[in-house]
Structure 1
Amino acid sequence: MKLGVYNAILHDLSLDEALDEVVKLELDGIEVNSGGFLPPKHLPIDEILSSDAVAKDYLKRFEDRGLEILGLNCNGNPLNPDPAIGPDDADDIRRSIRAAAALGQKRVVTMSGLPGSDPDARYPAWNINAWGSHALDSLEWQWDRASEFWTEIDELARQNDVKVALELHPQNLVFNPATARRLVDRIGATNIGVELDASHLFWQQMDPVACVRWLGPLVYHAAAKDVRINRENAEIHGVLDERFRRLGPEEPRTHMGGDEYANEWPQDSAWDFVTVGIGHDADYWAEFLRALAETEKATGEEMCVNIEHEDTSMGAIEGLELASRTLFDAAQRAGLR
């Protein structure tokens, strides 16, 4: 089992500077962003796709430091009905699969995406708690669109000997273990499975350890990312909290493609992303790693567990240092290091 970091938190640094920080953390490598919501800051993907020599030189920068590339990450919405977003995100997934093959990688992390509610929709629509018949009508239409796209991607991944790991992320058609298995079964996928990001399961009140064991060999990859439930706020607002604020063009904001930007998190939030070890202690993370090790042993394929840092109360390096210490402690408790 490899322990690493998803590089988005280090995008303010050059690739070489980011790699040097990972060496200091004594981690095994980096999961590299390759497109989607975020630009591929540390990956010259066009050059790699067109030149074996560039790919070889790129890999050498990792090898010279004793590091590895621990997957490519291309999170976006390939099913977005906005023509300025969906097609680009879909193409980024295709390019990421080909780039992974060029770099000798076996994993591309992404999201299932979310279509509009119907053929005329302008925006993605997340149908949950579908007690009305129209919601089920919409879901059937959405699953048909997703099946068409992911059948194509499954074939491309198979041709390139790459596994595509879908992050179970709300506001996607695939957001929990059951919807992941539904997609795989519906299209007979051979190269599509799950990236088990614990954080989004935590706030949905699921148990990531139980989810790993329920999914078994469909878990291809994992993210170490923690959540703290703020009970006094959650008791009033619940975890499906829509009190986000639109940021103005004069404020720093994260571009998500087309004319879409991320909104500001609620001030008195029901839950927050926190550094690994703050929401759940090393004993919990040890059990999480044990469950992943069971899958690793059953499939014979090496598992990568990459820290994703989104704790706004801590700086990038400070958060990665705490998360790394927690994971190393957990790995020792689990008998994996």
Structure 2
Amino acid sequence: MRLGLYNAILHDRPLPDALRVIADNGLTGIELNTGGFLPPVHVPHFDDILVSDTARDDYLGVFEGTGVSIAGLNCNGNPLHPGPAIGPVHAEDIRRSILLAERLGQHRVVTMSGLPGDSPTSTRPNWIVNAWNSAALDIANAQLKTAADFWREMDRFAADHDVKVALELHPQNVVFNVRTVEQLVEATGATHVGVELDASHLFWQQMDPVAVVRHLGPLVFHAAAKDIRVNPEYAQLNGVLDNGFRRMREDEQRTSLGGDEWVNEWPKDSSWDFVALGKGHPVEYWTEFLRALRDVDPDMLVNIEHEDVSLGREEGVAVAAQVLLAADAALEANL
């Protein structure tokens, strides 16, 4: 397996500096953001690379001698968003990311399945959390059909370019657990659309990432090493679907999600938090996580995603890398 880092946490610096941080922490791969919710900061000549061999070769030359190579592309977004400033833009970003992957000799693009509205006239997505009533189930079924129509076409496009698209199992998407993965694959007959196994969102949904890998097997194309910690004192009161977020003001530093949508501030007394690898689950757990992934694909790309706000950027990467490398060493010692 190849162990690397998703580059979003290092978007504050030039690519060569990001590569040095990754190499200094014993990692060998970088998963590059190429659109969707976040801009392709570390692919500044995206358009040129798509058409120019010289631009492509110059870009690949940046990685030579660094000990770090590209380990997949990431285009997380909502390609099914009903708003014209978001859905079509993110969908096109996925197509362009697939083309870029082909140009760069890559075979994995990470994204999300997306989430449409609840009717043809909707302007906002509507996630059906618990379809216990008939109207909600009607919406969920219609959303699955919308997703299937989109991903059936995208599956063919990806196959034409020898790329596999790995969907992150992320809530607020049509596909977020095993059941919905299987529904989408059955509805589309997909061969080049599968799963990015990001453990973090499975943990807080009370899913076991190792069990999910074992169950989905070859549908797992790619993986993210990301941890969470449940805070029992608040989870016992508000559950894991707590909506205590704060809308950030225009004069505050905030992250755009496209159009007029922005990331909200995380709840102060949160039921759960993203934490650096090892602060939620020990090395022993991550060893079994890697073991399950290796059994699916010995060449699996496994990239750290750092979102622990209690740690600095480089500090968090270092903490996570130590845990992931320790887990990998333990696995290798017991093969």
Correspondence list, 1:45-194, <5 A: 45-194=46-195
Structure-2 separation of matches of 1:47 and 1:90: 20
Structure-2 separation of matches of 1:308 and 1:256: 18
Structure-2 separation of matches of 1:13 and 1:67: 16
The 3-state SS of whatever aligns with 2:237 is helix
Q: Which amino acid in structure 2 is aligned with residue 108 of structure 1? A: V
> More displaced, 136-145 or 235-244?
136-145
Q: Which amino acid in structure 2 is aligned with residue 5 of structure 1? A: L
Structure-2 separation of matches of 1:89 and 1:175: 18
Structure-2 separation of matches of 1:278 and 1:219: 25
The 3-state SS of whatever aligns with 2:229 is strand
Structure-1 separation of matches of 2:201 and 2:167: 13
Q: Which amino acid in structure 2 is aligned with residue 40 of structure 1? A: P
Alignment partner, residue 321 of structure 1: 318
Structure-2 separation of matches of 1:46 and 1:79: 24
Correspondence list, 1:184-223, <5 A: 184-223=185-224
Structure-2 separation of matches of 1:185 and 1:294: 24
Superposed displacement of residue 334, structure 1: 1.1
Structure-2 separation of matches of 1:224 and 1:66: 20
Deviations 1:18-53 (A, max 9, x none): 111111112111000000000000013211112111
Q: Which amino acid in structure 1 is aligned with residue 241 of structure 2? A: L
The 3-state SS of whatever aligns with 1:42 is coil
Alignment partner, residue 13 of structure 1: 13
* Root-mean-square deviation over aligned CA pairs: 1.0
The 3-state SS of whatever aligns with 1:63 is coil
Q: Which amino acid in structure 1 is aligned with residue 321 of structure 2? A: S
Superposed displacement of residue 141, structure 1: 1.4
Correspondence list, 1:177-326, <5 A: 177-297=178-298, 302-326=299-323
Question: TM-score normalized by structure 1?
Answer: 0.97
Question: TM-score normalized by structure 2?
Answer: 0.98
Structure-1 separation of matches of 2:315 and 2:172: 30
Superposed displacement of residue 305, structure 1: 0.4
Superposed displacement of residue 64, structure 1: 2.3
Where in structure 1 are there 5+ consecutive unaligned residues? Answer: none
The 3-state SS of whatever aligns with 1:47 is helix
The 3-state SS of whatever aligns with 1:62 is coil
Where in structure 2 are there 5+ consecutive unaligned residues? Answer: none
Q: Which amino acid in structure 2 is aligned with residue 124 of structure 1? A: P
State whether structure 2 residue 31 is matched by structure 1 residue 34: no
Structure-1 separation of matches of 2:332 and 2:26: 18
Q: Which amino acid in structure 1 is aligned with residue 236 of structure 2? A: E
Aligned length: 333
Alignment partner, residue 330 of structure 1: 327
